[in-house]
């Protein structure tokens, strides 16, 4: 998984690495899990194959797992009820005794197998635990997620040797907080430009780690960290971006500062410098060059922590909207009975039901292990982060001026301390965390059009010769001759299909028809743009978003059917919420379908180029930019010892 970059930063730690677009794409492709050994419901959606049997009947956990999970949630709830989220907000720090209380009941080892000292709970109960903790304060959920979803436990569990598991997992389960360090001051979603290096010592017993990592969530209090660094190619080793488990107490590590953000007060996020940090060779995860693959694979299920936090925010928002809208009276009746507000309440309620449905279905699929959920997890993260933000925004609007006012201000004048504005601020990061919306569009789109790219071959290669393209066209024609006729008709055109879902059957017929329509539209795009399709990010983003809505509709219908089967007394209510959600989602999907071909994409790209060229700088006249002169856009850094005192602290 090595990449031949234009500058060799491995000879000079800290030197900026320059990678061409082709080199960056090559690195990303080499790290991508290209094979599909298990079925995927979401992948089928994009190919026009709506296979409901892959997700329905709704998957369920084993009875023993449910019993242990419920018992733990009871213990966790008891602890969470003693914690004060507003104290975290005021102090901008999670108190040490809060962390100790969570550690005492095993919260930092929820997913770690019991044989290594963890609780060994399922992904479904991990998600429910995150909902509980996150409802106290989202920074608590972010801390546990960064530790357990992408920090040391998950990559060690998935890729570590038995010796590494024995060494690190019991420590993590016992309360050692961990972090995942990938981003650098000048490197975000483009790891081909990574400058941090890990150079193998002459005796081969250790690596010397140099570099600076930015936005190290949990890094300020972490005891162990997973660090991504570029290993120079050497005799007997291929080098490349590699993953290491590093003890935060190692000499040469300095947490230079603790960052502050618009939301998530209490988040222990910092800037960490490594200067000649000696890392035992035995701390290398997998092989040299496997780092990016390890990171991407870990994120496949790690991303499900975001939907859990989003579902928690939706549930809380619904509770506040319901109680407030029944209490607040305007023009002679509660505001919730006015049409404008009723529309918002309906959206919040229906979307919250779907947020939990998407989380539960994705988590249960992950636990079952029989399906490939890389697209499902990505869609769950993408869709949930966008919809939860809308839910919180609508709650602020329902609350009016009180929605914009802080909980502390409300309490100071004797009113209920509802922190709606805080939830809105806190949720905003989820559209960026663990893959921004824009990056998630590209990730899912790459998987969604994979079959087309494979069929097209050199048709999708910009610099392929005319002869190669001709051969590719002949190959592609065979694939599409077999595939396209399958998209003409399906179960969604059969009246009465999916009748076991009662009033929701029509929505599932719509999903089936729309899945085939989505596949046809993708084919039209591939036919029209061929190698240029990857640059049509607006088109691809809408393709992905349509699939996300169809996935959420399916999850909502499946969950409603499960609830009705389990508890008929709640069945009608669940069906009503699923029906409302599907009606709303269909409108969004139809709008996206319309915008596939009727949009302002070309205009937007042209205007953007002119903006960047300075053609419209005159529009900016009349304001003062007080950020000018305060520093560069990206702070430069150089390898070497730190000039700062460390701000690292330990809670135990």
Residues with Cβ within 8 Å of residue 128, at least 6 apart in sequence: 69, 73, 308
Contact by Cβ (8 Å): 368, 56: no
Asked if residue 336 lies in contact with residue 348, where contact means CB atoms within 8 angstroms, the answer is no
Residue 123 has pLDDT above 90, yes or no: yes
Q: In angstroms, rounded to a whole number, what is the distance separating the alpha carbons of residues 248 and 192?
A: 25
Over 80: is that where the pLDDT of 215 sits? yes
pLDDT of residue 300: 80
Query: How confident is the model at residue 188, as a pLDDT?
Result: 72
Q: Are 263 and 632 in contact (CB under 8 A)?
A: no
Rounded CA gap, 31 and 37, in Å?
17
Alpha carbon of 70 to those of 122, 480, 569, 580: distances in Å?
A: 11, 49, 22, 30
**29 has pLDDT over 70:** no
Q: How far apart are CA 120 and CA 13, in angstroms?
A: 40
375 has a pLDDT exceeding 90: yes
Checking if the pLDDT of 19 tops 80, the result is: no
Q: What confidence tens digit (pLDDT) does each residue in 176-196 have?
A: 999 999 999 988 767 778 999
Enzyme catalytic residues? 434
Buried/exposed code over 45-76 (b: 16+ C-beta within 10 A; e: otherwise): bbbbbbebebbbebbebeeebeebbeebbeeb
The HSE-up count of residue 113 (CA atoms within 13 Å, CB side) is 10
Overall average pLDDT of the 548-558 stretch = 98
pTM of the predicted protein model:
0.94
Q: Looking at residue 464, what is its pLDDT?
A: 65
What share of the chain in percent tops pLDDT 70?
A: 92
Q: Kindly tell me if the per-residue pLDDT of 443 is higher than 70.
A: yes
- Segment 155-171 shows an average pLDDT of 97
Report whether pLDDT(592) > 60.
Answer: yes
pLDDT, position 191: 76
Q: Which residue carries 């596939």 as its tokens? A: 596
Q: How far is it, in rounded angstroms, from Cα 240 to Cα 125?
A: 36
Nearest partner of 590 among 526, 517, 498, 491, judged by Cα: 517
pLDDT of amino acid 137: 97
Report how far residue 300's alpha carbon sits from residue 365's, in angstroms, rounded to the nearest whole number.
12
Average pLDDT over residues 445-463: 70
Query: Residue 338: phi, psi to the nearest 5?
Result: -80, 135
Length, in residues, of the chain:
652
- 112: CB partners within 8 A, 6+ apart: 118, 119, 120, 148, 153, 157, 169, 172, 173
Beta strands in 107-155 (DSSP E): none
pLDDT in tens, 483-499: 888 888 899 999 999 99
| Mean per-residue pLDDT over the chain, rounded | 91
Q: What is the mean pLDDT of residues 59-81?
A: 97
Calpha distance 487→311 (Å, rounded): 34
Q: What is the pLDDT of residue 8?
A: 40
Q: How far apart are CA 331 and CA 109, in angstroms?
A: 53
Work out the pLDDT band at 7, boundaries 50, 70, 90.
Answer: very low
């Amino acid at each position: 998984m090595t990449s031949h970059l234009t500058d060799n930063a491995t000879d000079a730690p800290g030197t900026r690495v320059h990678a061409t677009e082709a080199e960056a794409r090559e690195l990303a492709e080499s790290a991508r899990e290209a094979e599909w050994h298990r079925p995927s419901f979401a992948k089928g959606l994009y190919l026009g194959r709506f296979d409901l049997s892959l997700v329905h009947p709704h998957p369920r956990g084993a009875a023993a797992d449910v019993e242990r999970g419920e018992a733990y949630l009871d213990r966790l709830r008891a602890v969470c009820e003693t914690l004060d989220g507003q104290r975290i907000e005021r102090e901008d720090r999670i108190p040490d005794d809060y962390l100790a209380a969570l550690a005492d009941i095993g919260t930092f080892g929820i997913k770690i197998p019991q044989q290594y000292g963890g609780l060994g709970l399922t992904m479904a109960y991990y998600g429910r635990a995150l909902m509980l903790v996150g409802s106290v304060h989202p920074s608590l959920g972010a801390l546990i997620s960064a530790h357990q979803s992408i920090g040391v436990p998950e990559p060690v569990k998935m890729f570590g040797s038995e010796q590494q598991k024995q060494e690190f997992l019991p420590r993590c389960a016992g309360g050692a907080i961990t972090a995942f360090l990938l981003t650098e001051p000048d490197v975000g979603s483009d790891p081909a430009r990574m400058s941090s290096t890990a150079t193998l010592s002459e005796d081969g017993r250790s690596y010397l780690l140099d570099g600076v990592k930015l936005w190290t969530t949990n890094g300020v209090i972490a005891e162990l960290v997973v660090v991504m660094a570029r290993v120079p190619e050497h005799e007997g080793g291929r080098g490349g971006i590699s993953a290491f488990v590093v003890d935060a107490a190692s000499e040469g590590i300095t947490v230079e500062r603790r960052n502050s953000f618009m939301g998530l007060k209490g988040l222990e996020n910092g800037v960490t410098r490594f200067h000649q940090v000696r890392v035992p060779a035995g701390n290398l995860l997998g092989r040299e060059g496997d780092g990016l693959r390890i990171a991407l694979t870990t994120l496949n299920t790690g991303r499900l922590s975001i939907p859990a936090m989003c579902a928690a925010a939706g549930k809380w928002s619904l509770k506040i909207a319901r109680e407030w809208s029944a209490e607040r009276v305007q023009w002679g009746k509660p505001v919730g009975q006015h049409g404008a507000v009723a529309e918002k309440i309906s959206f919040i309620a229906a979307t919250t039901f779907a947020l939990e449905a998407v989380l539960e279905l994705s988590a249960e699929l992950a636990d079952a292990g029989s399906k490939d959920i890389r697209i499902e997890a990505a869609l769950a993260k993408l869709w949930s982060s966008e919809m939860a933000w809308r839910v919180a925004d609508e709650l602020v609007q329902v609350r009016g001026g009180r929605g914009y006012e802080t909980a502390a201000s409300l309490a100071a004048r004797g009113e209920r301390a509802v922190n709606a504005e805080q939830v809105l601020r806190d949720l905003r990061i989820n559209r960026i965390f663990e893959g921004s919306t824009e990056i998630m569009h590209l990730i899912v789109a790459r998987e969604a059009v994979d079959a087309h790219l494979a069929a097209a071959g050199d048709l999708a290669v910009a610099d392929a010769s005319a002869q190669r393209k001709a051969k590719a066209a002949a190959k592609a024609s065979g694939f599409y001759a077999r595939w396209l006729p399958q998209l003409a008709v399906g179960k969604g055109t059969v009246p009465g299909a999916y009748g076991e879902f009662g009033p929701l059957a029509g929505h599932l017929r719509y999903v089936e028809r729309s899945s085939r329509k989505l596949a046809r539209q993708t084919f039209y795009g591939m036919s029209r743009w061929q190698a240029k399709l990857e640059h049509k990010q607006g088109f691809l983003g809408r393709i992905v978003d349509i699939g996300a809505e169809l996935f959420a509709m399916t999850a909502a219908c499946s969950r409603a059917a499960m609830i009705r089967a389990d508890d008929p007394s709640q069945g009608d209510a669940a069906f009503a919420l699923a029906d409302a959600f599907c009606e709303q989602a269909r409108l969004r999907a139809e709008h996206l379908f319309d915008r596939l071909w009727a949009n302002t994409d070309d205009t937007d790209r042209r205007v953007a180029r002119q903006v960047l060229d300075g053609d419209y700088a005159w529009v900016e006249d009349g304001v003062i930019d007080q950020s000018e002169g305060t520093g560069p856009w990206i702070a430069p850094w150089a390898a070497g010892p730190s000039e700062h005192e460390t701000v690292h602290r330990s809670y135990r």
